[in-house]
Chain A
Amino acid sequence: MGAGQISYDVAHLIGATVLMAGLQLLYQRRLFAVINTFAFQALALAAAAGWQAHVQNAPHLYVTAGIALVFKAMIVPFALHWLIEKLGIHRSVETAMSIGWTMMAGVALVALSILLVLPVTANAAALTRESLALAMSVVLIGLLMMITRRNAVTQVVGFMALENGLILAAVSAKGMPLVVEISVAFSVLVAMTLFGIFFFRIRERFDTLDINDVETYRGDRQ
């Protein structure tokens, strides 16, 4: 069981890193810092996927790790950098809730996840157990970030952080078929292209990326 213990510790460590990066996302005040943190989170995710591939002896997880590494940790951050430069978006993050409160909410969400997941997975593999709690925290924190940030770019980052959490959960689930990874990659891909289209279109029409301005119409005013 020695090897099991080590694999558990490492997985736990990497998972915790993903979560820490998620929490870090919450308190970044500058746009580029947010993107960089996100890249770091994706990197950690790639590491987690790689480690799971190794531990579970599931080679297809390396693919997932690769996608995370190349796509999320490199292409997406670069694209976002480029987008911000090109569109001349305001560089600071506009928050809807103070950073302190956001952090506290984030911590509360982590606590909730642990409270929920740990008791119910008593008979699941230990490896899965911890990762699942971590993944759930990441998902919730990603959602929290989408709520507390006004800027469209930060919202997108929040959304992708949420997806990171999902992938973390997926890779930690032992023996989950490949279908899932394909779907995840696929959705991320499509999501990105869509986002790109949207950004351009929003740019064309409203000259801003602040969602509050986009939504002046909001349907059916009388």
Chain B
Amino acid sequence: MTEFLIQLAQIFLVVALAPLVTGWVRLVKARLQGRVGASALQPYRDLYRLLQQEAVVAHSASWLFRVAPYVTFSAVWLAAVLIPTFTTDLILAPAADLIALVALLGVARFWTALAGLDVGTAFGGLGASREMMIASLAEPAMLMVTFSLSLVSGSTAPSQIIAFVLSGSVGIEVSMGLALAALVIVAVAENGRIPIDNPSTHLELTMVHEAMVLEYSGRHLALMEAAGMVRLTLFLALIGGLFAPWGIAQAGAGWGEWRWGWEHSLPKALPWPRPWRCSRPGSPRCGCSAMPISWAARCCWGCWRRSSSTCRRRCDGSRADLL
């Protein structure tokens, strides 16, 4: 019964807290850029406002356009439900291992991309094309991370990996380090962050994820945004859980441990902004390196920057047949 309750708690907590996490990230980012930034609770307000707005759908859109936000949201939600955040003892966890999690995120992307194509605008296609291109590189990377984790730990199930890491038999593993680096990069790509994408851009030609959902409004847009927030939360929890699981509750734990796990899970994933002050405030490129996960991203920043800028150029090449 308690297991059931825990699972239920997880289901609703990830959704309830996701906007907060996003707000927090935005706040940190603003601080690092030298701005005051909006409150961490701002995403709640945004979502509510969107929900209250009228949903406008284009004439040419099909039923898929209207269903896509619900599917996208519930797919991401489903993925997030199965990730151990404060405890590994989830009754639904065996339903999907890391491979299935990757695939569930793929479902969300599949629908979003299709929705982007549905209205039949240039920007929707542009976004879908870029998104799928990025995904077709990021998804294998994610699977390879899973591969190396399963090599080290002997399992693809997140709870088992966490158990293995906690058991202390893992030393300083090069492969774990590399896996972490890769996972961070994938997380950057999946969540549409700089340098792959810029969630706050207003120039449509440089959009990726945003371009796909340009046609959405009202509750549909709210669901799409919420899906993005849940995804961000999911990745942070995943990184934190897999690579720094200390404090997480395991099977058979009591309430106290769960609480402890819960209290630790948030700060772990969301470091307080103050200790990390950017050396060059105001530089937009630097802004991205001030992402909460930047401490890992820095390691591979140099090489990634090269490849991503090439990638970026390639993406922008699509303008040729667009204009």
* Direct A/B contact, Cβ within 8 angstroms: no
Contact surface of A with B, Cβ cutoff 8 Å: none
